[in-house]
Amino acid sequence: MPDTVRLLSTLALKGAVANLAGQYEASAGVRIDADFAPTLALLDRIRRGAGADVLILTQEGLAELVREGRVAAESCVDLARSYVGIAVRAAAVHPDIASEAALRAALLGARSVVYSRIGASGIFFAQLIERLGVAAEVNAHATVIPSGFTAERLITGEADLAVQQISELKQVAGIEVVGPIPRELQTPAVFSAGRMTGAEKAAHADRLLRYLASAEVAPVLRESGLEP
């Protein structure tokens, strides 16, 4: 039975970690026991006493835990950048979202837009539609979920545009990613990893962190919709 390293990760890295887990166990002889949730939900769990060996959070979230003494500062590594994008159900017409004006028109023309209440992408989107001056119109018909993968609501027919980190949109089968929200309208989220100061498997945690930050992992991150 292989040793196990406990990992708590933001949803944005779920696809990449799932693709890497088997390969890592084969090479390192250590199993990754991973659990995934939005950064804000993970921060709440950790502050309530949840333990882990390795955390993957937004750069800002991890920095908060370093300041609180919960994560070892010297262990922290930046893994990837992620952009917020828009998806539609497979075979649906792809709206034009290439410019601010086109994006505004696409959002106003949608029957319903789905976004997450507590995820980093949802918080960004709520602020974006305010800046675009369309918050009241979009929210009048929006589908706002507590957490999870927004694109699942495309499959059920509850919405026809889904907004989330591109790496999270790509976790749902039967949808198509239209593309990123224009990059001049957003600052990419940076996801970082670090070892908890109370890690039971500190040596295994440090080895996993080196692996996650290595060039070997970069193609898997790109494939999952992230930029190493």
Q: Are 198 and 120 within one domain?
A: no
Q: How far is CA 143 from CA 21, 60, 93, 140, 159, in A?
A: 33, 27, 20, 9, 7
Evaluate whether residue 119 is within a structural domain.
yes
**Quick one: pLDDT at residue 108?**
98
Secondary structure of residue 207 in the 3-state scheme: helix
Q: How many domains, the chain? A: 2
Q: What is the mean pLDDT of the chain?
A: 96
Q: Are 59 and 106 within one domain?
A: no
Q: What is the CATH number of the domain that holds 44?
A: 3.40.190.10
Q: Are 60 and 151 within one domain?
A: no
Q: Are 152 and 139 within one domain?
A: yes
Evaluate whether residue 159 is within a structural domain.
yes
Q: Are 128 and 62 within one domain?
A: no
pLDDT digits (tens, 9 = 90+) for 141-179: 999 999 899 999 999 999 999 999 999 999 999 999 999
Domain that holds residue 212: 3-81+188-223
Q: Are 58 and 134 within one domain?
A: no
Evaluate whether residue 88 is within a structural domain.
yes
Average pLDDT over residues 72-93: 97
161 membership: H or E segment, kind and range: strand 161-165
Evaluate whether residue 102 is within a structural domain.
yes
Q: Are 110 and 142 within one domain?
A: yes
Amino acid at 170: K
Q: Whole-model pTM above 0.75?
A: yes
Q: Are 122 and 181 within one domain?
A: yes
Instruction: Count how many Cα atoms sit within 13 Å of the Cα of residue 141 in the half-sphere of its side chain.
Output: 15
Q: Are 122 and 180 within one domain?
A: yes
Label residue 104 by pLDDT band (50, 70, 90): very high
Q: Are 89 and 105 within one domain?
A: yes
Secondary structure of residue 56 in the 3-state scheme: strand
Evaluate whether residue 14 is within a structural domain.
yes
Pull the structure tokens for residue 71.
């994560």
pLDDT digits (tens, 9 = 90+) for 187-217: 999 999 999 999 999 999 999 999 999 999 9
Q: Give the CA dihedral 195, 78, 61, 187, nearest 10 degrees.
A: -170
Secondary structure (DSSP) of 172-189: STTEEEEEES-GGG---E
Evaluate whether residue 228 is within a structural domain.
no
d(CA 4, CA 20): 15
Label residue 1 by pLDDT band (50, 70, 90): low
Q: What is the DSSP letter of 227?
A: B
pLDDT digits (tens, 9 = 90+) for 29-40: 999 999 999 899
Asked whether residue 118 carries a pLDDT value surpassing 60, the answer given is: yes
The DSSP bridge partners found for residue 137 are: none
Q: Are 192 and 159 within one domain?
A: no
Q: Are 44 and 90 within one domain?
A: no
